[in-house]
Each structure stands twice: as C-alpha cells, then as structure tokens.
Amino acid sequence: QVQLVESGGGLVQPGGSLRLSCAASRDIYSMTDMGWHRQAPGKERELVAVIRSGGSTNYVDSVKGRFIISRNNAKNSVDLQMNSLKSEDTAVYYCRAGFLGYTYWGQGTQVTVSS
C-alpha cells in the first residue's frame, strides 16, 4: 500500500505561483514513476507532469515552460512548481504513483486561479 498526502493547493491570482507537494509513505525511488494529474469542471482528467525513475520528465503542452516537477529527497515527496498561473489552470490536482504494478492516487487538492 502507498499513501499519498498532498499539500500546497489554494487560491492564487493570475500570474502568481504555487508549489504543490506529494509526500509518499514509501520510498519515492521505489516507484515506477510519479506524477500530477488535474481535472477541471466538465473536462477529462489529464496528465500534467510525470517524473520517471531515471529522472526524465514529461509535461502536457499547455504547462511547458511554466511548471516544473521534481523530487525532494529530504521530504520523500514529489513537488510541482507552478508559475505564471492562468485561470485555465484551475482544477483539482491529483498525485499519482505507480508501485509493483498498481496505481495509487492522492485525495486531490484544489487550485483556483482567480482575481
């Protein structure tokens, strides 16, 4: 079993920044990969960013150049730094981890970008 605890969501103005953190109950380096997904009202859940065991990353086109996914060894977490936020980024953000052939999800954290 893997428990994922998310933090950092909230309300921010357009152009602002937020940093999301996903702390895992098991060593993050034992995971096949870890990533962030989001789901906006009326839309399908989409992959935002993923980091694989070798350190390679991928991002959805709409966040390239603005978001950065990284691993925090001290906190055993995977973070998502979100810069230059737009109203279109408003969504519930979910942490996901792959471990021993299973997929685990966090509870989700709300990110709202609004004036």
Instruction: Encode pLDDT of 64-95 as tens digits.
Output: 999 999 999 999 999 999 999 999 999 999 99
Tens digits of per-residue pLDDT, 18-51? 999 999 999 999 999 999 999 999 999 999 999 9
Please report the pLDDT score of residue 99 as a whole number. Answer: 94
Q: What pLDDT is stored for residue 78 in this prediction?
A: 97
Supply the pLDDT for residue 10: 98
User: What does the H/E/C string look like for the chain?
Assistant: CCCEEEECCEEECCCCCEEEEEEECCCHHHCCEEEEEEECCCCCCEEEEEEECCCCEEECHHHCCCEEEEEECCCCEEEEEECCCCHHHCEEEEEEEEECCEEEECCCEEEEECC
Position 70 scores a pLDDT of 97
pLDDT at 14 (0 to 100): 98
Adjacency order of strands within the sheet including 18-24: 4-7, 18-24, 77-82, 67-72
| pLDDT (average), residues 92-115 | 97
* pLDDT at residue 33 in the model: 96
Half-sphere exposure of 21 (CA within 13 A, CB side): 9
